Structure 1
Amino acid sequence: MRKVAVITPGSFVIPSARSSSVERVIEQVVPLARQDLDIRIYGTGGRGLSLKGYVHGVPCIRLPAASYHKSLVRGLTSWRPEVVEVNNRPFILQKLKARLPGVKMVLNLHSNTFIRPPSLKPGQFEAALGQADCIIVNSRYLKQFIEAGFRRMPPEIIVNHLGVRPEDFTPRFTPAVEALRGLQLAQRGWEGKKILLFVGRLIPEKGVHHIIEALPGIIAVHPDVHVLIIGSAGYSSDRETAYVRRLKQIARPVAPWITFQPYVPFPALVHWYTLGDVMVVPSSTREAFGLVNVEAMATALPIVAAAAGGIPEVVEDGVSGLLVPPESLPWGLVAPINRLLGDESLRASMGAAGLARCHRQFRWDLTAARWAQLMQRV
């Protein structure tokens, strides 16, 4: 079988409940392709993890963080893969390309964070990305962003949408789930509340402040609303940043209507999704995909989201959710949220539409099949 090395950014260990979405995508997708490819994952070490382990059956080589790049070159030179996929770090691909002539290099970009200033200066863009034999992105938005940065013909760019494992999620609007949900809400003192759910990092780009700023207009119509904000500023720490402190400060006038829940690791996060009535995703225009959208859809939650970045590729406006022009935030959130909170049948129908779309189009096995096919032909 074709030998493929998958290179993580080296910022977090894999597998880990407190790693970034990049590691989580790799953990979900790569093992599903191990019947067709000879794959090794390369990452950094962590406390309690052996230097060589397995991620759902795929060998995982853990290297010292302090010498990650040098150790990568040594390991890859020894194993001699035919394809190297570098995730989210074009400068790592540049270094490996120079040291491993003849090896096909694939750059898998999960966002545009590391291909824009300050990570890449404008003059470095083409030199860094042009080294790739192929580029994988998770949305057409990200593909168009890359194409706009090239003055000459870019490498081949393939869109591979992300997904979920539907069996990991419990859809709303079934009698058993509704009964259990009612008990959980009562235990938290939220009995009879309509729950607006936000899941994600507490950083400005995710737009949490927009929800808080729009809340008075929602309370005026639905005083029984409650906002559940799940997340922290970082993946591996719950420390408060200046932005998190600002969020809590602007939330003081509406504090009885808001709960901040620190970062919840993914397996446990599934149960929190079922508490929601409406998912709110007010991200900035830099949101490449928004994995929380498909996770909400897998739970049959309707979504109110900014029509930003790659989100319109996931959420069908008027079908599985309601999209808001980014320039209308925060006040643009008020009317669609009030509409959904006031119409249970609409919430149920949009949730059902999102669930069907998720099963049809956004599944990890589909993502993995496309990825394996690309690794075979690159």
Structure 2
Amino acid sequence: MKIALIATEKLPVPAIKGGAIQIYLDAIAPLIAQKHDVTILSITHQDLPDQETRNGVQYIRFAESEYLSSLGAHLKNVKYDVIHLCNRPAWVPVLQAAAPNARWILSVHNEMFAVEKMSDEEGKACIAAVSQIVTVSDYIGRTITDRFPQAKGKVKTVYSGVDLKTYFPDWTTEGRRLKEKVRSELNLKNQKVILFVGRLSKVKGPHILLQAMPEILKKHPDTVMVFIGSKWFGDNEVNNYVRHLYTLGAMYPENVQFIQFVQPKNIPTLYAMSDIFVCSSQWQEPLARVHYEAMACGLPIITSNRGGNPEVIDEGRNGKVIKDFENPDAYAEAIISLLDSAGKRNDMGKYGRAKVERDFSWSNVSGNLLSVYENRR
């Protein structure tokens, strides 16, 4: 089959500027290309050619300002058997008109069928036009079927994944080496490290973790909380909220570090230096991919009871879900419990690594997608 994978207009593929969708496409495409002819369509970037082939995948990039019209023109001229459009249900009728004979698959990574984003008529037209809708979590699937019950037969959860070969738990030789190396570079040799990875945005809740620090430091004064991220993917500009975080962090100069945007390829080493991973999202998170990354590196996870996040947590086995997710003390209590017991952290980390190896490798994801592409029902 000839397959087109269409990224959003936000970021280029490969994920040189980050982005969960971009990471997803760049990871699955070479695996699917082992069996089929695969093209990724995305926006241009100054560091990338407009067209190239790598790992058996063709990349074609169009200017952001003309992206939708360029996609339409391309789909008229090149015949694809399957077209997988990411996260833009409103584009389906327009693009399908350019390729009416293709089998259309829509993947939904956020609440794109919400009332404020799509009318009833638009939603119904999109659902009628596509063969299947794959979602990144059961939660996102429910946001579609609760509003549009007629979509139930077409909606299927296909969880995202992670490159297991690039993440090394600290019980491995390479994991121990990376942990020592990065901790030495960051002057964290003998401290316990709590890690946050994500946009520095109020909806991600980093301020709540900073508010939890006083309680944590009472019990574990040798703890350091490391925040990796910026206000937006690849944008290290400091806005008022980020400035507020820096001000809060400055109250604990020995116990808080901020690291700005890190290229996705460099993220695994920063997980490797950590003891606990925390996701404090306050919004209805679709299912943050950081959970897969933390499990791959053998870290116990503390996450908020928001959106799809709890779907990958087996309570008490690979992590803990915070139901009182707005309360700094709830995070402090969970963090302290794990800091109290290296054995508990190790057991949770090993369970999480086994879980991600079993369920969330990129080969699993690509296999699940192939079953969708090849299903002719």
Please give the TM-score of this superposition, normalised by the length of structure 2.
0.93
Give the deviation of 1:242 after TM superposition: 2.5
- Structure 2: runs of 5 or more not aligned: none
Cα distance between partner residues in 1 of 2:367 and 2:237: 38
Secondary structure at the residue paired with 1:111? coil
The letter of the residue matching 1:37 is H
Kept in 1, the 8 Å contact 2:182–2:270? The answer is: no
Partner of 1:366: 364
Determine the C-alpha separation between the residues in 1 that align with 2:205 and 2:128.
Answer: 33
Query: What do the CA deviations read for 1:22-54 (whole angstroms, capped 9, x no partner)?
Result: 111000012201132222111122214222112
- Whether the aligned pair in 1 keeps the contact of 2:249 and 2:257 (CA below 8 Å) is no
2:295–2:353: 8 Å Cα contact kept in structure 1?
A: yes
- The whole-number CA distance in structure 2 between the counterparts of 1:374 and 1:196 is 38
Matched with 1:177 is 175
Q: Pick from 186, 189, 192: which aligns with 1:188?
A: 186
Q: Which moved more, 1:73-82 or 1:25-34?
A: 73-82
Determine the C-alpha separation between the residues in 1 that align with 2:147 and 2:118.
Answer: 12
Partner SS for 1:256: coil
Residue number among 132, 145, 151 corresponding to 1:134 in the alignment: 132
Matches within 5 A, 1:93-104: 93-104=92-103
Q: Give the equivalent residue in structure 2 for 1:16.
A: 15
Q: 1:59 to 1:173 in 2, by over 3 A?
A: same
Tell me which residue corresponds to 1:209.
Answer: 207
Q: Which residue of 1 aligns with 2:42?
A: 43
Q: Which residue in 1 is equivalent to 2:252? A: 254
Which residue pairs with 1:92 in the alignment? 91
Secondary structure of 1:84's match? strand
Q: Distance in 1 between matches of 2:49 and 2:297?
A: 35
After superposition, what is the alpha-carbon deviation per residue over 1:297-347, rounded to whole angstroms, capped at 9, x for unaligned? 111111111122112221211001111104453221111100101101111
Work out the CA distance in 1 between the residues paired with 2:241 and 2:127.
32
Q: Cα gap change, 1:176/1:70 in structure 2, threshold over 3 Å: closer, same or farther?
A: closer
* SS state at 1:28 partner: helix
Partner residue in 1 for 2:266: 268
State the distance in 2 between where 1:105 and 1:176 align. 43
2:227 maps to a residue whose letter is I
> Which has the larger displacement, 192-201 or 58-67?
58-67
- 2:353 aligns to what? 355
Query: Aligned partner of 1:93: which letter?
Result: V
Percentage of identical aligned residues: 25
Partner of 2:252, secondary structure, is: helix
C-alpha contact (below 8 Å) 2:305/2:325 kept by paired residues = no
| 1:103-149 C-alpha deviation (Å, 9 max, x unpaired) | 3221111122x333653357744444443221111111111111112
Which structure 2 residues correspond to residues 1-378 of structure 1 after superposition, within 5 A? 2-112=1-111, 114-116=112-114, 118-120=116-118, 124-150=122-148, 152-154=150-152, 156-174=154-172, 177-178=175-176, 180-327=178-325, 329-378=327-376
**RMSD of equivalent CA atoms:** 2.0
In structure 2, do the counterparts of structure 1 residues 155 and 43 end up closer, same or farther at CA, with 3 Å as the change threshold? farther
CA contact (8 A) 1:15 1:55 kept: no
Matched residue type, 2:93: Q
Does structure 2 retain, via aligned residues, the 8 Å contact 1:284–1:309? no
Q: CA 1:122/1:79 → structure 2, altered by over 3 Å: closer, same or farther?
A: closer
How far has the Cα of 1:364 moved from its partner?
0.3
The CA distance in 1 between the partners of 2:120 and 2:54, in whole Å, is 37
Q: Which runs of 5+ in 1 are unaligned?
A: none
8 Å Cα contact 2:82-2:373 kept in structure 1: yes
CA distance in 2, matches of 1:124, 1:206: 30
Q: Secondary structure at the match of 2:219?
A: coil
Counterparts of 1:73 and 1:141, CA distance in 2: 31
